[in-house]
Chains A and B, each alone.
Chain A
Amino acid sequence: MPQDVFVVAYDGTDQHAVDFAVERAIRENAQLVIVHILEWSPYTFLTTEELAERHKARQQELARAEEAVMKPVLERVRRAGATADGELRYGSAVDILCSIAKEKGAAMIIVGRSSSLSTRVFGSVASGVAQCATVPTVIVP
């Protein structure tokens, strides 16, 4: 029987969600896909200078995210005994989490919960994913 895949949203801080995912993955012998999203809209405004340097800046941002976010979390997860892959993507967090879950045929999405005034007003990634996900979604406090 093929392994189940759990998609885990990781913004660099929500350790609770990762810990929960690791525990479940070990118990159910599932594979984790840890997703870190660099928020990006193709409709934001850039100055002429930023245009010329965008490709360079993107490469630097990806390298930094890989080094500072993805590598440490993957190490931690693997040390804990789970199998995991990482995905770094640009775009809107909610859309990308839902589309990766589809791409990978995931059985579950696990996402942390943040609480601040702005998320209460504009909605959080967790509430967005809950709206668009086509698979069961666990929101970890």
Chain B
Amino acid sequence: MSFDRKTQPIPLVALLLFFTSTTSAVAKSIDETINEAVASVTTPFVSFIFSPLPGTDFPWIVLWLIVAATIFTIYFGFIQVRAFMHSIELVKGDYSRPEDAGEVSHFQALATALSGTVGLGNIAGVAVAVSIGGPGATFWMILAGLTGMASKFTECTLGVKYRNEYPDGSVSGGPMYYLSKGLAEKGFGLPGQVLATVFAVFCVMGAIGGGNMFQANQVHAQVVNVTGGSDSWLDGRGWITGLIMAGFVFLVIVGGIRSIARFTEKAVPFMAVLYVGAAIVILIIYADKIPWALGQIITGAFTGLGIAGGVVGGLIQGFRRAAFSNEAGVGSASIAHSAVRTKEPITEGFVSLLEPFIDTVVICTMTALVIVITGVLRIDPQTGLYVWDAGAGRIATEGDLSGIDLTSAAFGKAISWFPYVLVVAAVTFAFSTMISWSYYGMKAWTYLFGEGRRSELAFNSMFCVFVVIGAAMNLGAVIDFADAAIFAMALVNITGLYVLMPVVKQEMNSYLDRLKRGEIRKTKG
């Protein structure tokens, strides 16, 4: 595939700039046109991934994720519970060898993988889950986070075990490598190659959908929200926000200006702490309502509380949003985790299982609690049940908001100026997720088309164009495509994980035995 870097993107930019000067009505139609054009291409794929099990409304892919997380949890004997404290010790560096100083530490691999995972899924995705599935979705989301820890453990161990190390010292790891090399070891050479290739294709799509379009879309929603909502000049002009964001992304991934990437990715942990801190403050303000909110979450999980989708609807939303947010079973994080320097691949598996915990069990739960507790979801005062907005397909909300706007409104109810902070957090999260995913997508792309300047430039340019498209489209269409792409990755990845899980078990048992016998000792503390 050839792509002329000097000429190709310019007509597109020129075309879009031309429309900048046109009237509002025409400008609105740019977003609409993009939405319709892209949706018509993605709809068949989305319909396939989310097609229900025969005779039910239950998407088979959600069942696939639930079954996988449950199987890994049982097969590894609740490793997420057994190894939790040991994982924290590994991250602290208690077992790091002094001679490895200067190499990638467990802490660094975890921090980097987290900055790719903690994103708008935690802020916007959770709002979607709770408004469609009701408070009960939170319960299922937490359960998905807890069981997802075992999926993450499996894939990240394999990521390190089967990574490629090149003579110059750089490494490439992730599902592409364990699917091809690991399955070949088990005597499935050809199927392994096929799975690795299919995974790479879906990974490119996932990078564009979830790692890019969804993020751009929700940043635009936030920018419109704080600049006047439907009165904002930017309302309906998502492509303008998109162009600006695409410009920055371009500077980083094509222009190689790493300082921007470093700055935003470094700001992520800070923003995450700020976000969780604000959520805790709100919970303290509404402390008297916490038992009620927890009651809503538990009752909602088993009764549905009058939500149209009922219990099953909440469960589907909970698992969908959790998987999207923490990416357990998706395989993406194993690309980042595979760079760690360790003689024991299993240690990286232990470290990675903290990721769904931090991402989903802590951060997503905070968002959900704030939304439920601040009462932005409408409740019928007579029946005490949530008011269903059939037109929007979700619970009626204050100001008719959804996605990140709903989260923003919930935080704003308790802390009036927090929506402004949230915009900064959203932009930071979105940007760092985009940069991380551009790297994951690039790894998949070069796996398919080979390395080299032209090939990399083709991917990066395409990635930037989709920032604009994502910002211009409607949330519904974007989130469906983003989910479908991410879940398609999980479909392929988990198939491989089933074949390779005995390898992980062997590593795990050997390591835990040596740890018990005292052959593996702390180097400090």
Binding site for B on A (CB under 8 A): 38, 40, 42-56, 58-59, 61-62, 89-91
Binding site for A on B (CB under 8 A): 93, 96, 98, 101-105, 107-109, 111-112, 115-116, 168-172, 258, 261-262, 265-266, 269, 335-336, 339-341, 435-436, 439-440
Q: Enumerate 19 A-B pairs (CB-CB under 8 Å) in ascending A order.
A: A42-B96, A42-B105, A42-B107, A43-B107, A45-B266, A47-B112, A47-B435, A47-B439, A48-B112, A51-B109, A51-B336, A51-B339, A52-B171, A55-B103, A55-B169, A56-B168, A56-B169, A56-B170, A90-B102
**Bound CA–CA A58/B108 (angstroms):** 15
Give the contacting residue for B265; candidates A40, A45, A53, A54; CB below 8 A: A45
**Distance in Å from the Cβ of A4 to the closest Cβ of chain B?**
25
A89-B101 in contact (CB<8A):
yes
Residues of A within 8 A of B265 (CB): 45, 47
**Bound CA–CA A86/B354 (angstroms):** 40
Question: Quick one: given A42-B93, A47-B258, A47-B435, are A55 and B170 in contact (CB under 8 Å)?
Answer: yes
**Bound CA–CA A13/B406 (angstroms):** 58
Residues of A within 8 A of B171 (CB): 52, 55
Q: When A and B form their complex, what is the total count of cross-chain residue pairs whose Cβ atoms lie within 8 Å?
A: 82
Residues of A within 8 A of B168 (CB): 56
Residues of B within 8 A of A46 (CB): 104, 108, 111-112
Give the contacting residue for B101; candidates A40, A50, A51, A52; CB below 8 A: A40
Give the nearest-CB partner of A92 in chain B: B101
Residues of A within 8 A of B112 (CB): 45-48, 51
Interface of A is mostly: helix
**Distance in Å from the Cβ of B348 to the closest Cβ of chain A?**
12
**Bound CA–CA A49/B257 (angstroms):** 12
B436-A52 in contact (CB<8A):
no
Give the nearest-CB partner of B267 in chain A: A45
**Bound CA–CA A46/B104 (angstroms):** 9
**Distance in Å from the Cβ of B5 to the closest Cβ of chain A?**
20
**Distance in Å from the Cβ of B328 to the closest Cβ of chain A?**
18
**Bound CA–CA A57/B341 (angstroms):** 13
**Distance in Å from the Cβ of A41 to the closest Cβ of chain B?**
9
**Bound CA–CA A90/B100 (angstroms):** 9
B104-A55 in contact (CB<8A):
yes
**Bound CA–CA A53/B169 (angstroms):** 7
Residues of A within 8 A of B336 (CB): 48, 51
Residues of B within 8 A of A59 (CB): 169
**Bound CA–CA A61/B102 (angstroms):** 10
Give the contacting residue for B111; candidates A40, A45, A55, A56; CB below 8 A: A45
Question: Quick one: given A48-B439, A54-B339, are A43 and B105 in contact (CB under 8 Å)?
Answer: yes
**Distance in Å from the Cβ of B106 to the closest Cβ of chain A?**
8
Residues of B within 8 A of A44 (CB): 108
